[in-house]
Amino acid sequence: MVEESFGLRLHFSGGDADNHMLDAYDGTSSLYGFAQALQIATNAYINHDVTNYSTALKNAKVFMRPARQGSFITDFTTIITRKPKGVTVNGPTFYDFITFAFNQAVGRTPAAPRTAYVNGLIGPEKPFFDDLAEHMEGSLQRAHRTISEGGVTTVSVQRPRGEQLVEFDHETSLWVNTRSIDDFPQTFTGNITRFNSVSPNGRAFIDDYGRIIPFKRSADFPEDKRGLLSWSLHGSNLDTRKKLEIEAKKVESSSGIVKRLIVSDCNLIEE
């Protein structure tokens, strides 16, 4: 039984798209990448299951309609075939979830959620959207191929009647395409702002950069140091008593912006 269906529109602009065409390889790669990212996000929305396998989607299906002119437009329809218990399924919530998830995944600062359901997935001990952003990264790299390689200027993700949810452009292409990961860890000072002991992902305010940066615990992060991350979480950016020395490798975007830290260790700051 079909519960709900929701449309999304990809509007390509600039370059060949203005002549109602896309390079065959770049265009199909972008559509494939977006379809993967949409299925990963939909699976997270409907099942609370964060994975980078688009084929893991359950309780929903994503369909693609023929491309249309003006400049180059492709429509996708997501059909929820089963509504699991505890999940709010309606138009406002679905579009709110997609807007927040995609904006965070491409390096945009998302606006505050409009719905209680999406707002409930955010909090100091809920790195849900950080996990999802990391798992969508590979798909979004492919989704940006018409921008990074094909000469397209923007790809707007819209609701069927034209309301824009997120826009891909040169800046977001540089964000999703990772330039490098440090060979060796460096030492940073900061405090944890989001952390859950189950998830390897979190966020930390890093004094060296004066901003909050997502992090991921490395496979060799000491198990007995998890408590320090939780302890630091309950401080504030200005609370020097909750600061840690954090050993981590930087992950930089193609434009050289630090987008993530791979944390291998942490220690209390000796006063």
Least confident of 22-26, 53-57, 113-117: 53-57
pLDDT of residue 271: 61
Q: Give the containing element (helix H, strand E) for 28.
A: helix 24-47
Q: Do 76 and 19 lie in a common domain?
A: yes
For residue range 143-201, list pLDDT tens digits in order. Answer: 999 999 989 999 999 999 889 999 999 999 999 998 888 889 999 999 999 999 889 99
Q: Do 231 and 121 lie in a common domain?
A: no
Torsion sign, CA atoms 159, 161, 163, 164: positive
**Residue percentage of the chain with pLDDT more than 70:** 97
Please state, in angstroms and rounded to a whole number, the distance separating the CA atoms of residues 245 and 190.
7
Please state, in angstroms and rounded to a whole number, the distance separating the CA atoms of residues 233 and 239.
11
Q: Do 67 and 192 lie in a common domain?
A: no
Single residue among 176, 203, 226 that ends a domain in this structure: 176
CA Rg value for the chain: 20
For residue 1, pLDDT over 60 is answered with: no
In the DSSP assignment, the letter for residue 14 is S
Single residue among 176, 210, 235 that ends a domain in this structure: 176
Q: Do 34 and 108 lie in a common domain?
A: yes
Rounded to an integer, the average pLDDT of 7-27 is 95
Q: What is the pTM of this model?
A: 0.92
Range of the domain at 141: 4-176
Q: Do 163 and 236 lie in a common domain?
A: no
Q: Do 206 and 238 lie in a common domain?
A: yes
pLDDT of residue 197: 86
Domain count, the chain: 2
Q: Do 119 and 224 lie in a common domain?
A: no
Q: Do 41 and 113 lie in a common domain?
A: yes
Which pair of tokens denotes residue 228? 């320090």
In the DSSP assignment, the letter for residue 269 is P
Angle ∠(53,58,61) on CA atoms, nearest 5: 95
- Residue 262 to residues 31, 157, 184, 214: CA-CA distances in angstroms? 30, 30, 10, 9
Which pair of tokens denotes residue 23? 């390079």
pLDDT of residue 68: 81
Single residue among 159, 176, 193 that ends a domain in this structure: 176
Q: Do 52 and 130 lie in a common domain?
A: yes
For residue range 101-125, list pLDDT tens digits in order. Answer: 999 999 999 999 999 999 999 999 9
Q: Do 122 and 73 lie in a common domain?
A: yes
Give the 3-state secondary structure of residue 233. Answer: helix
Greatest alpha-carbon pair distance for the chain in Å reads: 65
For residue range 198-244, list pLDDT tens digits in order. Answer: 899 999 999 999 999 999 999 999 999 999 999 999 876 666 678 99
CATH at residue 213: 2.40.50
Q: Do 154 and 262 lie in a common domain?
A: no
- The band of 27, judged by pLDDT with boundaries at 50, 70 and 90, is very high
Q: Do 199 and 131 lie in a common domain?
A: no
Whether 23 contacts 146, CB under 8 Å: yes
